[in-house]
A and B are shown apart, each in its own frame.
Chain A
Amino acid sequence: MRYLPLTETEREEMRKTIGIKETKELFSDIPKDKSYFSLADLPSALSESELLEKFKEIGRKNIFPGFLSFLGAGAYQHFIPELVNFLSNKSEFLTPYTPYQPEVSQGSLQGMFEYQTMMAQLTGMDIANSSLYDGGTAAAEGIVLALKKSKKQHILIAGNIHPEYIEIMQTYIKYLDYKMDLVPFDPQSGKLKLAELEGKIDQDTAGFIFQSPNFFGVVEEGKQISAMLHSKNSYSIQIVTEALSLAFLVPPGENDVDLVVGEAQSFGLSLGFGGPYLGFIAAKSEFLRQMPGRFVGQTLDSKGNRGYVLTLSTREQHIKRERATSNICTNEAWCAFRAGIYLATMGKKGLQSIAKTNHLNTAYFVKEVSKLNNVKVKYQKDYYNEVVLEVQNGKTDDFLKKLEAKKILAGIPLHWFYPDQKNTILVNFTEIHRKKDIDQLVQAIGEIK
């Protein structure tokens, strides 16, 4: 077996050194009747070429390739420059452990420090950590952080956050003594009803978490929301599921948001059927000592040279155990490192340019599709790169199936998340789409009877 370098002779030699006859003897603490079970029901070993054949065969059962896709909703298809693959897949970056020995980990550490810097710049916040699992868990960590820091018991949650994120937050605080309350949105605009939000904030409100652009693609009034919360001594927490929007829209920091959490999959991570992705959290510096996850900090070595270490570890589980700020250990370090490479490659101009293209492509679709009678764009104002499309006749499943027959995945039916939304779909546009792709979608929609 190629991953097992010991030869039979060496095993024999080693057993002799240890003073045993059979390796089995080393396992004698395991109850005899519970060990050395039959392996008969496990598959036989495959050779490399057999593995390739086997996975090729499984791959053939995936028939999505070749479809023109407009699926988004928290997972976005963006172009990934080859440089990102080439550099991030170097085994020096892929195969080390967490940098607990900084003297031989400066590559990972400096890369993470640069990533932290770029995320802080993009969000407009003081600090950003070096990764969380994904957007949904980052949202959950965000509200737990706000609740702990404020020492209050009540958190408000926007009703137009990605429904999976809401589910994850609910799971996370299920057994903690906190109260969670949903703030409804206006079905006419897709946006939050600020008057209703204001009425819900009281003395025990730790904060309000909202998503912008929200689940329906609409940009919220971040500045007003933050001001409203701050006037009542509560935190403003923003979720960003499409990190690319940070390069185009006024960043959370400029809206005086206190905590930003979200998903940075858009920064060079492939769709990969949902993971691994990249959760992030960025904050005003007052949150620093209670934040979850790892931080890389700059320092000096004993000769006075610049270097990097994992720092603030007194917050973490391996030191603080049951008093830790979070249980996070292994996170998504490589994804963050890779995102750093992506961001460096795109650069300021590149990022701004494609962030704008995402919006313009969406605007072009809205303009073109508005000429049709069988569909209607539901929220025509303040969208970024996603819109809700109302199907005028019939149900969305039927509508989507007809487009699928033309090899188009036009969007995600919202009844998956909201059972009463029988005739709406969520459609996403990125820089991947050419004008002709959008024309093709519009034409295909127009042909549906």
Chain B
Amino acid sequence: MNKQLPELMFLKSRDGKEGCSLSAPEIADDLCVLAADKLRKDIADFPQLSEVEIVRHYTNLAHLNYSVDAGFYPLGSCTMKYNPKINEKIANQPEWNAHPYSPIHLVQGNLEIMKSLEELLMKITAMAAFTLTPAAGAHGELTGLRVIRDYLTDKGDARKIVLIPDSAHGTNPASSVLCGYQTKEIPSNENGILEVETLKKHLDKDVAALMITNPNTLGIFEKNIVEIARVLHENGSLLYMDGANMNAFMGIAKPGDLGADVIHLNLHKTFATPHGGGGPGSGPVGVAKDLVKFLPVPIITHEGKEYKVRYHNESGSNRVKNFYGNFLVIIRALVYLLELGKENIRQVAEDAVLNANYIRKKLEPYLDLPYKSKSLHEVIFSDKGLTVKTLDIAKRILDYGMHPFTIYFPLIVHGAMMIEPTETESKETLDQFIDIMIKILDEAKKDPAFVQGAPYSTPVTRLDEVMAAKQLILRWKPAATQTN
């Protein structure tokens, strides 16, 4: 098997090669109504390859990729669970492949799929309604925060601040700012969670919401959450619960019951849809009763026997995305939930949490555990006392044929190693990973330089990221003109 990077396709391109088969033209060129000065002359250096060369090119690229189908992928906060194949099969059926502006009586099946997922998500989360339109988690955050701002603005309450704990994902503050909010970071305590007293200290009439991930990015459940919600509501502020880590308690507790006013979920995490190397995702937003009228369009309703679509919510359009959202991701999530059913949904969270705690127990003698609170779906170690850096360990894991954990996040842990095994890993895989970690830590003690030089067996060795950011070669150009 070839483990070398194939040449860039532009270098293999030759005039006269064809990768597609086209039908003979039926309409004569002279019908063209556009003047010559509106027409393009050439697409300089655009590739031309034959079919077999394209197949080889991409097949060789495939050989260079690690994937969850190939093995363990314990990226913390990313929930890299297995992506069921039946979901792909069903999503790829032609019967869903309608134009989004098809007359709605011709696409009742598609509307049923979306409404069914909305209803299932409502049951799992105890939220009053969902929109499925956001394209990813961060897009859901932006949507949810805007719903909060619309709601408060509607009440004549122009609050300006969103409170965000120091363990939050970077998307939380970035989304808040895009919604015109100022953010204020608040510290978690020595147990890694937010204390009600800390919240109270930062709370005033200018606080629109607290945006909190639960369980948080330390894998710890915010056990004061019910009291936090109460204190917020008393102050006229809302609780935004980031559901990035919903896999930890899906089927065990419902965010709505805990006091959340707005949540978003990540279908490409908790609901097993494939990540695709960085998307497409889907980030449904669920809201409490009073906020429903601020959800973005389109809104699917079920009237009598027919599904209908509304393009105006009571408060306006609030549209955040074209058409209906990432429908083909939505359908995969529905297939997944229907296969789990009530019999398995709780087992998913239980196994995910059991797996994380097993790793924690087994590695605790070897690594520093900065927060001793109970872990849910992920465990975070630090690099304290090690002879090498977290990055070195991560790179060495690659040599053993596995993907490393999330590194250097959350920021409040020095040299963080954030390990989320998910429920779809066997005990054998966990034991292998644990053995590899122990071996690497031993190597690091005996020969730190060796670990610092890893990886040795990957298609490329450590890449010069500083050079990448300095030279900024972001596209290929013919040799003579290659500058940027």
Contacts and interface: CB of A to CB of B under 8 A. Distances in A.
A3 B40 contact: no
Nearest to A409: B102
Nearest to B334: A55
B386 interface: no
A19 B29 CA distance: 78
B472 A329 contact: no
Interface string A119-149: 0111000111011011111000000100000
B277 A93 contact: yes
B200 interface: no
Contacts of A172: 178, 320
Q: Chain A interface residue count: which class? A: 35 or more
A26 B376 contact: yes
Interface stretch (B232-240, B268-276, B441-449): B268-276
Interface in A241-285: 246-251, 263, 270-277, 285
A222 to B, nearest CB: 9
Contact of B27 (A263, A332, A361): A361
A61 B110 CA distance: 8
Interface residues of B, number: 200
A4 B348 contact: yes
A346 B106 contact: no
B249 to A, nearest CB: 7
A288 interface: yes
B98 A55 contact: no
A67 B106 contact: yes
B279 A364 contact: no
B317 to A, nearest CB: 5
A277 B329 CA distance: 11
A133 B319 CA distance: 14
Given A34-B258, A92-B65, A113-B475, A14 B354 contact: yes
A108 to B, nearest CB: 4
A360 B277 CA distance: 38
B374 A29 contact: yes
A40 B123 CA distance: 10
B8 interface: yes
B456 to A, nearest CB: 10
A130 B475 CA distance: 11
Contact of A354 (B18, B22, B40): B22
B305 to A, nearest CB: 11
A152 interface: no
Contacts of A64: 98-99, 102, 106-107
Contact of B353 (A26, A111, A174, A248): A26
Contacts of B88: 89, 94
A367 B109 CA distance: 37
Given A95-B67, A331-B278, A435-B26, A345 B170 contact: no
Interface in A2-50: 3-6, 10-11, 13-15, 17-19, 23-24, 26-31, 34-37, 39-46, 48
A275 B341 contact: no
Interface string B84-127: 10101010111111111111011111101100000010011000
A29 B373 contact: yes
Given A34-B258, A44-B342, A104-B398, A274 B322 contact: yes
Interface string B442-484: 0000000000010100111111110111011111100000001
B461 A301 contact: yes
B374 A177 contact: no
Contacts of A329: 136-138, 169-171
A161 interface: no
A176 B180 contact: yes
B474 A296 contact: yes
A69 B99 contact: yes
Contacts of B78: 97
A333 B279 CA distance: 5
Contact of B328 (A111, A276, A346): A276
A274 B324 contact: yes
Given A99-B278, A324-B170, A249 B34 contact: yes
Contacts of A449: none
Contacts of B279: 131, 276, 330-335
B247 interface: no
Contacts of A352: 40, 43
A191 to B, nearest CB: 13
A117 interface: yes
B171 A106 contact: no
Contacts of A391: none
A296 B475 CA distance: 9
Contacts, number: 668
Given A171-B319, A247-B43, A1 B344 contact: yes
Contact of B6 (A65, A110, A176, A356): A110
A356 B30 CA distance: 11
A188 interface: no
A301 B4 CA distance: 13
A176 B142 CA distance: 13
B93 A55 contact: yes
B467 A90 contact: no
A114 interface: yes
A166 to B, nearest CB: 9
B347 interface: yes
A46 B137 contact: no
Contact of A334 (B73, B276, B406): B276
Interface string B2-22: 000110111000000111111
Contacts of B67: 91-96
Interface stretch (A74-82, A179-187, A197-205, A225-233): A74-82
Contacts of A114: 8-10, 476
B221 interface: yes
Nearest to B323: A274
A248 B40 contact: yes
A434 B23 CA distance: 10
B362 interface: yes
B186 interface: no
Given A27-B252, A249-B34, A272 B97 contact: yes
A164 B277 contact: no
Interface in B34-56: 34, 37-40, 43-49, 51, 54-55
Given A64-B102, A299-B463, A92 B62 contact: yes
Nearest to B457: A103
A412 interface: yes
Interface in B270-302: 272, 274-281, 296
Interface in B132-180: 135-139, 141-142, 146, 149, 169-171, 173-180
Nearest to B425: A5
A94 B274 contact: yes
Interface in A396-448: 400, 404, 409, 412, 416, 431, 434-435
A73 B54 contact: no
A351 interface: yes
Contacts of A98: 275, 277-278
Contact of A28 (B73, B329, B374, B476): B374
B357 interface: yes
Contacts of A323: 177
B64 interface: yes
B439 interface: no
A436 to B, nearest CB: 9
Nearest to A131: B279
A349 B23 CA distance: 13
Contact of A270 (B20, B23, B31, B97): B97
A158 interface: no
Given A45-B344, A328-B139, 10 more contacts: A10-B427, A46-B339, A75-B322, A95-B276, A127-B474, A167-B317, A297-B473, A307-B5, A317-B138, A348-B47
10 contacts: A36-B252, A85-B92, A113-B475, A117-B476, A134-B322, A272-B328, A326-B178, A330-B278, A363-B33, A409-B106
| Ranked 9 nearest A-B pairs via Cβ | A334-B276, A274-B323, A45-B341, A175-B180, A333-B278, A274-B100, A276-B280, A59-B95, A107-B65
